[in-house]
Amino acid sequence: MSAPHLSRRTALVGGLGLLAGPACGQSAPLLQVIAGRKGILFGAAIEPQSVEGDADFAALIARQCAILTPENAMKWDALRPTEAAFDFDGADRVAAIARTNSVPLHGHGLLWHEAMPDWLAPALRKGRGEGLLRDHIDTVVRRYSGVVRSWDVVNEVVERNDGRPDGLRISPWLKALGPDYIDIAFAAAQTADPGALLALSDYGLEYDDEPWMVEKRGTMLALLRDLLRRNIPVQALALQGHLIGDRPPAFGSGLKDFLDAVRGLGLKILITELDVSDQNIQGSAQGRDQIVADIYARFLEAVLTSGPVEMVTTWGLSDRYTSKSTFFPRSDGDGVRPLPFDFDLRPKAAAYALARAFGSS
Ligand code: G3I
């Protein structure tokens, strides 16, 4: 995959993989260029209002990202305020930002057991699930065909604690349609946009020393094998990559072997929601930044040296805009620092760790 289109200035400076400028305050690694040299699309999740309302952040996104993900704008609760109506405003605004930056989108996501509007579960219980799912996917995928290059078609469908032999999550979708809901989703997405890369997304696959994650890897492989055996058009596994700052990294041969097994099925590997929670890391911001950077480095070193990776996107790009502020705040009241760029849009140790990982992969 060639490096994405860059503005002349960016390309000029980017040839060095560094960017100097007042907005950054210091030279910042140009992550999309460094990753692009290895055929990897680097990008981030965004909310449209964060880019539209903040010119400095918009400039950082434009400089750093070769692909963008709508953090929330393409979820059911955003797109479907009622069963009868679609609301494409947020998703269209994200698509407009992608077009302005001449970059593609990673669509997130066509089916999830969360972010469901209040009317949806009752409608599923009334037997309207298959029609709703097919119509939703057909409408949304066709609308963004050409700007979305890849989709999280189904998200977080494995939950071993629900006790099913196949390890599938007992979600409203599974209750309504049985396991075939996954088949329906992928088939509908491929019909709507045969050119899009179709992924199955999940978390909790990253750590070698977490028994539940090791077991989940086995369940995930069995699921992917079964889908492929039945010619269901799953083409990629999207590892979310939500990593934990206050525990040692454990990204070793287990993770590499798992990724090799997934590639052995003919599937591509996407890292789609990478971040490192510093909610419970003790110490100064500088010390926390170094721990976070080391975890980014260890994870990416394991993933990138295991074999080809299609894309790496972080779940936000700057600590100025991260949902972890809301959902995983620090008890000491300090701002959270999970992302490569700080609140003032300056590169942190994590940004340089990403650059080194891409550069050495
Ligand atoms: O936009 C509304 C706003 O109008 C309203 O005033 C406010 C209070 O109700 O809610 C706002 O919507 C929130 C939205 O984030 C935007 O901030 C939703 O309530 C809230 O549920 C939503 O949380 C998102 C969460 O997924 C659930 O959709 C997070 O931002 C987002 O980071 C998180 O991302 C997920 C991935 O999609 C899947 N993998 C895990 C990852 C982290 O949980």
The answer, yes or no, to whether any atom of ligand 1 lies below 6 A from the CB of 71, is yes
Indicate whether this model's pTM tops 0.85.
yes
pLDDT at residue 26, rounded to an integer: 52
The predicted model gives 104-130 an average pLDDT of 98
Ligand 1 proximity of 72 Cβ (cutoff 6 Å)? yes
When the pLDDT of each residue in the chain is averaged and rounded to a whole number, the result is: 94
Q: Does 27 sit in the ligand 1 pocket, CB within 6 Å?
A: no
Specify whether the CB–CB gap between 185 and 171 falls below 8 A.
no
Residue 5 has pLDDT above 50, yes or no: no
pLDDT in the model for residue 360: 82
Q: Is there an atom of ligand 1 within 6 Å of 275 CB?
A: no
Which of 271, 323, 328, 339 maximizes ligand 1 atoms within 8 Å of its Cβ, making it the mutation to test the pocket? 323
Question: How many residues belong to the chain?
Answer: 361
CA of 77 to the centre of ligand 1 (A): 9
> Distance of CA 337 to CAs 22, 198, 276, 323, Å?
22, 31, 8, 11
User: What single letter denotes the amino acid at residue 247?
Assistant: R
Q: 13 C-alpha vs ligand 1 centroid, how far in Å?
A: 36
Cα(357)–Cα(300) distance, integer angstroms: 6
Nearest in space to 335 (alpha carbons), one of 318, 360, 347: 318
Which residues partner with 154 through β-bridges?
A: 200
Domains of the chain: 8-360 (3.20.20.80)
For the chain, the maximum distance between any two Cα atoms, rounded to a whole number of angstroms, is 58
- Mention every residue, 6+ apart, whose C-beta is less than 8 A from residue 82: 117, 119
Whole-number Å distance, alpha carbon 75 to ligand 1 midpoint, is 9
Answer yes or no: is pLDDT of 215 > 70. Answer: yes
Tell me the average pLDDT across 288-313. 98
> What are the pLDDT digits (tens) for 69-105?
999 999 999 999 999 999 999 999 999 999 999 999 9
Q: Is the CB of 240 under 6 A from ligand 1?
A: yes
Long-range Cβ contact pairs of 280-288 (< 8 A, separation 24 or more): 280/245, 280/246, 280/330, 281/245, 281/246, 282/246, 285/334, 285/337, 288/245, 288/337
pLDDT at res. 320: 98
| Tokens matching residue 341 | 């760029």
